Amino acid sequence: MKITYFEDTDTALIVFSNAEPVETQEMSENMYVDIDASGNPVSMTIEHAKVSGALTKLEYEQVSHQIA
């Protein structure tokens, strides 16, 4: 996954895979998701990312499966 922030337009682009998108779905007025031929997300664009609060803080946590 790669996140690119374009400060001049306050736009965040989150790329999940290198697959070729075949469709863009509008999730809201400022959020779009590109979908591949299998229906998997390829990327997500968030416009007004900092203004909307979507990109004020970024955290990543990987949780491993634990056997009890």
Q: How many CB atoms lie within 10 A of CB 25?
A: 11
Indicate the SS3 state at residue 23.
strand
What's the pLDDT score for residue 61?
78
Ranges of the chain with pLDDT below 70: 54, 68
What's the pLDDT score for residue 54?
66
Report the side by side order of strands in the sheet with 11-15. 2-6, 11-15, 41-47, 31-35, 23-28
Q: What is the pTM of this model?
A: 0.80
What's the pLDDT score for residue 34?
98
